Amino acid sequence: MTTQVPYRGRVVVGFDGSDAARAAVDWAAAEARLRGRGLTIVHALLPPVTTGGLGVGLPPSLDILDDLEAAARDELEQVASPLRGTDLEVDGAVRIGAPSSVMLEASEEADLVVIGSRGHGGFTGLLLGSVGAQVAAHAGCPVAVIRHGAAAGAAKVVVGIDGSEAAEGALAFAFDAASRHGWSVQAIHAWDVPAYDLLIVPNGPVPVPLADVADDEVRLTAEVLSGFRDDYPEVDVVESLVRAPAVQAILDASKDAALVVVGTHGHGPAMGALLGSVSNGLLHKATTPIVVVPPTPEQGDAA
């Protein structure tokens, strides 16, 4: 195991011994191998804090810390060892710190960060833990959240689009993944009727005719996808224009998908939010592996 943690250009996966983390390691190993990237398995160790007589938190003794690190390294080695001896370069390391902080640090240099949907602790009934939510919202690279593997035979990537710059990044990741795996892409453009206040103008006309709205959405979808079709002619593309809430539309399409891809946020009332309502809703409800793609630095500066 290495003492200096290699992150740059690698697939980095968090591990804490939970079932979700083991599923994340399996998924990350397969993805790293396909991408021709090295794999780094990181165990973030947050030592317990004891309480003194005056209620002051005290750091654990060095002996306890050494024992915790040794146990974590042994567990990491058990996970990493079966992956060695293949065409995959595997490293592992124990880092002292909060899991979310450790993974966010890794995301500044990694090609892809992978985490399990839930680790040890917290409320086990929730589908997404606090670490997953924090990392997905603030990471500097794409983040894959793995609950369990996709259904056998799944061979499509579902990606949400809305014409925003964030959706452009999600499309780029989706098409690249589809090309590498030999999958198809299903692009979901969900739209609904523009809101207007019937209480204020109870007998007034609808501000925008529904036929015009639908035509605009069709044109937007075609425009957004045209460049990606040209760049990835080998990828079959299915356009799905759905009049429905975006989260539900993507969830319905993802039931037989291998992967779901979304941007951190798209069009909506809270453009400054780091994790939009669609990506947040999917992270809490999707059972398929999901990747959240952050904006590029240029997009982030413009937001």
Break the chain into its structural domains and give their ranges.
Answer: 11-146, 156-302
Q: What is the pLDDT along the chain (303 residues), one digit of tens a residue?
A: 444 678 999 999 999 888 888 999 999 999 999 999 999 999 988 766 555 555 555 566 667 778 888 888 899 999 998 898 778 999 998 998 888 999 999 999 999 999 988 654 443 333 456 787 889 889 999 999 998 778 889 999 999 887 777 788 999 999 999 999 999 999 998 876 555 444 454 555 555 555 555 566 677 777 888 899 999 999 999 988 888 888 999 999 999 999 999 988 644 433 334 456 788 888 888 889 999 999 865 554 444
Distances (CA, A) of 258 to 141, 150, 174, 269, 295: 20, 5, 11, 31, 23
DSSP for 190-218 reads EE-PPP--TTTSTTSPPSS-HHHHHHHHH
Domains 11-146 and 156-302 share a fold: yes
Class of domain 156-302: alpha beta
Write down the pTM of the prediction.
0.81
C-alpha to C-alpha distances, 72 to 13, 15, 51, 269, nearest whole angstrom: 15, 10, 24, 44
Distance CA(88)–CA(32), nearest Å, equals 7
Fold of 11-146: Rossmann fold (3.40.50)
